[in-house]
Amino acid sequence: MAQQSQVAAGMPPIARLRPSQGFLVWLGVAPFFVFALMFLILPTGYLLVGAFQDPNGNFTLANLGDLFQPSILSAYWVSIEVSAASAIGGALVGFFLAYAAVLGGLPGWIRPTLMTFSGVASNFAGIPLAFAFLATLGRVGLVTTLLIKFFDFNIYSTGFNLLSFWGLALTYLYFQIPLMVLILTPALDGLKREWREASAILGASTWQYWRYVALPVLWPSILGTTLLLFANAFGAIATAYGLTGSSLNIVTILLYAQIRGDVLHNENLGYALALGMILITGLSNAAYIWLSGRARRGLG
């Protein structure tokens, strides 16, 4: 197959024999670029430019400065905390699950089952996911009532509340863990059995094997995927909105309220809010792409 296409590439292809079509060649990708311009570049660009303008269209940095008022800062901060908690939790649990399925010596049917289920669960998000957790861990949810009934233990008397920070983080794990499993499983496949055998022959303990062999190979994948999970949670809104309505002060819900009714009383400050979000998700995605490039090279 590869040989065939090499041969094909070596021959003067018929399609290239008409050099006069330079303009027509570009026409082939024109619809895509028009689409990208209309629905990605221009809308985002409009917000980015607006973030640096006052209501009269003059250049200003005041909007960016205004982001540092306590209510907005706390919205960003809660978003960052929820995203970080769910990303780190999702990465840890996802890592152990992927590890168990790939290297844990479990029966063969476990892995494909886990992968299929992860595909479903990572796509089961948004409002239905909020409903599921309300029915399970809400005040009259199944787990809450069973714990009271059989153990006389009310999780709500411990200060737990599903409609709060930890409740949201716990709910986000439902799509974060499967995403980690899906991305990390191929990376774990890259750990060669011989490395483990070689280090065992050289007298390395399991801990030494992980510390000096496996983790140095895996860390770009683990860290990169954690950052991807972080961005994933940071841009999320529907789950939080379905769970808590507009009561939780996270940045996506603040932006939703701003779009709906200009709650900040400054259109341009709304654009700056969006700019801040793009910066945060953009940076973590860029780091993910950079790290996954490293991971690919590391695994050869």
Which residues in 107-136 contact another protein (CB under 8 A)?
A: 110, 114, 116-117, 119-136
- Residue 217 vs 287, nearer CB to another protein: 287
Using an 8 Å Cβ cutoff, are 239 and 127 in contact? yes
Q: Is 59 helix (H, G, I), strand (E, B) or coil?
A: strand
Specify the stretch interacting with another protein by CB under 8 A; choose among 148-156, 159-167, 174-182, 212-220: 174-182
Cβ 107 to another protein shortest distance, Å: 10
Tokens found for residue 297: 């090279």
**Start-to-end C-alpha separation, the chain:** 22
| Angstrom distance (rounded) from CA 64 to CA 60 | 9
Please state, in angstroms and rounded to a whole number, the distance separating the CA atoms of residues 174 and 130.
Answer: 10
Q: Binding another protein by CB under 8 A: which of 82, 87, 179, 218?
A: 179
Q: Is 3 in the site for another protein (CB under 8 A)?
A: no
Closest CA to 241 of 168, 150, 149, 166: 168
CB-wise, 164 or 196, nearer to another protein? 196
> Interacting stretch for another protein, rule CB under 8 A, among 35-43, 69-77, 156-164, 191-199?
35-43
If one asks whether residue 149 binds another protein (CB under 8 A), the answer comes out as: no
Smallest gap from Cβ 9 to another protein, in A, equals 7
- Exposure of 184 in the CB half-sphere (CA atoms within 13 A): 36
Smallest gap from Cβ 70 to another protein, in A, equals 22
- Unique residue bearing structure tokens 């379905």: 242
Minimum CB separation of residue 71 from another protein in Å reads 18
CA 9 to chain CA mean position, Å:
39
- Which of 84, 278, 287, 299 is close enough to bind another protein by CB under 8 A? 278
Interface residue with another protein, options 214, 272, 277, 291 (CB under 8 A): 277
Examine residue 35 and tell whether it contacts another protein (CB under 8 A).
yes
Smallest gap from Cβ 190 to another protein, in A, equals 13
- Separation of alpha carbons 124 and 151, rounded Å: 31
Nearest to 144 by CA among 163, 128, 157, 130: 157
Residue 44 binds to another protein (criterion: CB under 8 A)? yes
Phi, psi of 292 (to 5 degrees): -70, -25
Write out the binding residues for another protein, residues 52-81 only, by CB under 8 A. Answer: none
